[in-house]
Amino acid sequence: MKAALQLAIKQAFQQARQAIQEQRSTDAFQWLERAHILTQRHPVQHARSHWLMLVLGWQTGDYREVAGQIPRFFAALLFSKIWVPVGNTGRSRISAFKPMPVPKELQILLADDVQTQSSR
């Protein structure tokens, strides 16, 4: 994984944690969605994004989010290397199978990662 992608992932998780601590759930979910898109091909970090969405759903009383994150957490661990719906933000209100447009600023980071993985 390229250094720029690693840094972007680290930043997204740090910002999400800070927003969670400050009880800014909308901001926290936005950072976790970003982390989710960036980590989709990396099982442990991908699962981490779902775990934190589950925790945030619990803290905000959004039990639909909690229920949707449980299977996504396990699927992230099991299937991230095989197939992911590219660009999917990972929230429970969106189909877990729906590809979505990747924001331009993330496309560059992910392009480098895909090239690195395909050369293995």
pLDDT tens string 7-57: 999 999 999 999 999 999 999 999 999 999 999 999 999 999 999 999 999
Cα separation, 53 vs 56, in Å, equals 5
Cα separation, 109 vs 111, in Å, equals 6
Q: Tens digits of per-residue pLDDT, 66-102?
A: 999 999 999 999 999 999 999 999 999 999 999 999 9
**pLDDT for res 97:** 95
Q: Is the confidence at residue 114, as pLDDT, over 80?
A: no
Q: Would you kindly state where each structural domain of the chain is located, as residue ranges? A: 3-112
What stretch of H or E contains 8?
helix 3-21
